[in-house]
Copies of this chain bind each other. A is one copy, B any other.
Amino acid sequence: VQNYRITLLPGDGIGPEIMAVAVDVLKVVGKQLNLSFEFQEALIGGAAIDATGSPLPAATLDICRNSDAVLLAAIGGYKWDSLPRHLRPETGLLGLRSGLGLFANLRPAKILPQLIDASSLKREVVEGVDIMVVRELTGGVYFGEPKGIFTTETGEKRGVNTMAYTESEIDRIGRVAFETAQKRGGKVCSVDKANVLEVSQLWRDRITALAADYSNIELSHMYVDNAAMQLVRCPKQFDTILTSNLFGDILSDAAAMLTGSIGMLPSASLGADGAGVFEPVHGSAPDIAGQDKANPLAQVLSAAMMLRYGLSQPVAADKIEQAVLKVLDQGDRTGDIMSDGMNLLGCRAMGDSLIQAL
């Protein structure tokens, strides 16, 4: 029996409900495939602020560092929105990313045929869309120094952040993108703003040089404004999108929304070694928290990504992904993806249906 230590970070809002479903699913798949999971729960986000005064207690980071993978649900809520920055749930998430060195964020946006009508785009525009956004996650304007709100010589305030990348930061995320594309459609589109920004110019030069090591990959470059347009106009043109932290934040959300069902989308955040973090793209949905209405499928698919990318257990990952497709084929739907003639289920009932399907 292969044994894995998994840290669970249920976080805020609907987090605990959807996490419970993912844990049940992992247990069943584990039994079937002879994998054993040792789950440890830890605090992050608003829940951690309320309990400890910090959005990322040192104990949480320790537990994560000593585990094989981290499954995160969602953080944040109105309640903590007006706290000072160092006490905000988001600050805990950023601390987790940098604390674990998770420089590579993989965000798939794939249209499921069962849910294609949920898209706000025409069927023929989104049919078959299957994009992987590879976003740099520990650099760029999110972490660059200097940053802060300073007072100028004339006495007025000036808000400052620094958008910066070193060559080695660019190279390591570039390699992740090229290697990801090798397992997919073989195309990388690197997105930057090299016609205006020096940091993007360095990015473009390095990625271009790096491409020499990946002769089987078709590399293209696109400006970020054009990429935002092309995602709307013709998303099928993209296979793997490689981009920086801020541009990836914006474009991966736009790509996610092309599917019309962000309650379905998982993500993976990986470092050079050590535990990765796996979490849904959607937020903590405080408005429906505790009402058994949440869609647990993105959380369950995040557990599948954990098995695939974090624990190298692709068979287990496949099993979970098949189960998700099966319940969708059966017509099972939570409220966010409900349509005429389908079976409306709550969060727990969707979990039960998944277990049946397994």
Contacts from A to B (Cβ < 8 Å): 85, 88, 90, 94, 120-122, 125, 141-142, 144, 147-149, 152, 156-168, 193, 195-203, 224-226, 228-229, 231-234, 246-247, 249-254, 256-258, 260, 262
Q: Is there an interface contact between A158 and B149, defined as CB atoms closer than 8 Å?
A: no
Residues of chain B with a CB closer than 8 A to A199's CB: 159-161
Q: Is there an interface contact between A228 and B203, defined as CB atoms closer than 8 Å?
A: no
Residues of chain B with a CB closer than 8 A to A252's CB: 225
A-B contact pairs, 14 of them (CB 8 A): A144-B160, A147-B197, A158-B166, A159-B165, A159-B166, A159-B202, A160-B164, A161-B199, A162-B162, A224-B250, A225-B253, A228-B257, A229-B256, A229-B257
Beyond contacts A88-B195, A152-B166: 6 other A-B pairs, Cβ-Cβ < 8 A, are A90-B195, A156-B166, A158-B166, A161-B164, A228-B253, A229-B254
Residues of chain B with a CB closer than 8 A to A254's CB: 228-229, 231-232, 254
Residues of chain B with a CB closer than 8 A to A159's CB: 164-166, 197-203
In the A-B complex, the 4 residue pairs with the smallest Cβ-Cβ separation, listed nearest first, are A159-B202, A159-B199, A229-B257, A228-B254
With A122-B121, A159-B200, A160-B164 in contact, is A262–B149 under 8 Å at CB?
A: no
- Per the bound structure, the CA–CA distance linking A160 and B147 in Å amounts to 13
A235 and chain B: residue at smallest CB distance: B120
Residues of chain B with a CB closer than 8 A to A88's CB: 195
- Per the bound structure, the CA–CA distance linking A198 and B143 in Å amounts to 11
With A121-B120, A163-B163, A257-B233 in contact, is A225–B198 under 8 Å at CB?
A: no
Q: Is there an interface contact between A193 and B121, defined as CB atoms closer than 8 Å?
A: no
- Per the bound structure, the CA–CA distance linking A249 and B161 in Å amounts to 18
Residues of chain B with a CB closer than 8 A to A193's CB: 246, 249
- Per the bound structure, the CA–CA distance linking A160 and B159 in Å amounts to 16
Residues of chain B with a CB closer than 8 A to A85's CB: 198, 201
Q: Is there an interface contact between B198 and A149, defined as CB atoms closer than 8 Å?
A: yes
Q: Is there an interface contact between B232 and A120, defined as CB atoms closer than 8 Å?
A: yes
Q: Is there an interface contact between B229 and A253, defined as CB atoms closer than 8 Å?
A: yes
Residues of chain B with a CB closer than 8 A to A163's CB: 141, 160-163
Interface of A is mostly: helix
- Per the bound structure, the CA–CA distance linking A147 and B200 in Å amounts to 11
User: Which has the most chain B C-beta neighbours within 10 Å: A122, A125, A250?
Assistant: A250
- Per the bound structure, the CA–CA distance linking A196 and B149 in Å amounts to 13
Q: Is there an interface contact between A167 and B156, defined as CB atoms closer than 8 Å?
A: yes
Q: Contact check: which of B167, B228, B260, B262 meets A251 at CB < 8 Å?
A: B228
Q: Is there an interface contact between B202 and A228, defined as CB atoms closer than 8 Å?
A: no
- Per the bound structure, the CA–CA distance linking A168 and B234 in Å amounts to 40
Q: Contact check: which of B148, B247, B250 meets A198 at CB < 8 Å?
A: B148
Q: Is there an interface contact between A167 and B157, defined as CB atoms closer than 8 Å?
A: yes
User: Which has the most chain B C-beta neighbours within 10 Å: A196, A202, A247, A254?
Assistant: A196
A246 and chain B: residue at smallest CB distance: B193
Residues of chain B with a CB closer than 8 A to A157's CB: 166-167, 202
Q: Is there an interface contact between A162 and B160, defined as CB atoms closer than 8 Å?
A: yes
Residues of chain B with a CB closer than 8 A to A161's CB: 162-164, 197-199
A123 and chain B: residue at smallest CB distance: B122
